[in-house]
Chain A
Amino acid sequence: GENVEQHPSTLSVQEGDSAVIKCTYSDSASNYFPWYKQELGKRPQLIIDIRSNVGEKKDQRIAVTLNKTAKHFSLHITETQPEDSAVYFCAASRPNFNKFYFGSGTKLNVKP
């Protein structure tokens, strides 16, 4: 099956700096890559996603890039704010099947 690895496990940045979280996947058939943000005690919430037919997608301060050849994708958060502090999970799924494989999570701490 698919194996998704996520790095780093923890990330601490100053408010206003950028944060980058990286994930690799093993199954070349995976074609959909969502990112979820989970605040303490809350549900994971979708923040951005990308499909394998594009290389980059942006939504305000958040962007995701995908390198299909290298089988890795990254989440970029610019101008970080304290409210960005949370655990972020990447995931991958294959076409024709909605089984999602999640990375182990990155705990982001944005220091004011």
Chain B
Amino acid sequence: NAGVMQNPRHLVRRRGQEARLRCSPMKGHSHVYWYRQLPEEGLKFMVYLQKENIIDESGMPKERFSAEFPKEGPSILRIQQVVRGDSAAYFCASSSSGQGNTIYFGEGSWLTVV
């Protein structure tokens, strides 16, 4: 029973490039969440998605960041024109429903902007 799968695990981008992070939820899970973790800090909510729907994106920066969870395929977190401050670990989590269920995290994608 595969857990939440994220790729790439590590990504290096130059300032101004685009970063695309992918997340496949656990089998049977249809709810996906993205969290950002800066070094030595906690987990900050970014966005909550269901298939083809963004439920809550209140934690997403207004510019350069976008997320989707298409009908087929993984959820994608896209960061355009990356800056050094985007360097962080991006964790995806999934749950089986949207009401009071435990969320399980993937191994994370570590983005480094040089």
A-B interface pairs (CB < 8 A), number: 60
Chain A, interface size: which category?
Answer: 20 to 34
- Chain B residues, CB < 8 A from A44: 43, 91, 105
Size of B's binding interface in residues, CB under 8 A: 25
Q: Are B105 and A101 in contact (CB under 8 A)?
A: no
Knowing A44-B91, A98-B31, the reply to whether A89 touches B102 (Cβ < 8 A) is no
- Chain A, interface SS category: loop
Q: Which of B67-75, B79-87, B93-101 is the interface stretch?
A: B93-101
Chain A, range 16-50, C-beta contacts under 8 Å to B: 31-32, 34, 36, 42-46, 49
- Chain B residues, CB < 8 A from A43: 91, 105-108
Q: Are A99 and B42 in contact (CB under 8 A)?
A: no
Q: Are A99 and B105 in contact (CB under 8 A)?
A: no
- Chain A residues, CB < 8 A from B42: 89, 102-105
Residue of B31, B42, B103, B106 contacting most chain A CB atoms (<10 Å):
B42
Q: What's the nearest-Cβ distance from chain A to residue B50, in Å?
A: 10
Q: Are B102 and A46 in contact (CB under 8 A)?
A: yes
Q: Are B104 and A95 in contact (CB under 8 A)?
A: no
Q: Are B104 and A97 in contact (CB under 8 A)?
A: no
Knowing A42-B107, A45-B105, the reply to whether A99 touches B45 (Cβ < 8 A) is yes
Q: What's the nearest-Cβ distance from chain A to residue B6, in Å?
A: 9
* A101–B56 CA distance with the chains assembled, in angstroms: 13
* A residues whose Cβ falls under 8 Å from a Cβ of B: 1, 31-32, 34, 36, 42-46, 49, 51, 89, 93, 95-105
Task: Sort A-B residue pairs by CB-CB distance and give the 10 closest, nearest first.
Answer: A43-B105, A104-B42, A102-B43, A98-B98, A43-B107, A105-B42, A44-B105, A32-B100, A102-B42, A96-B99
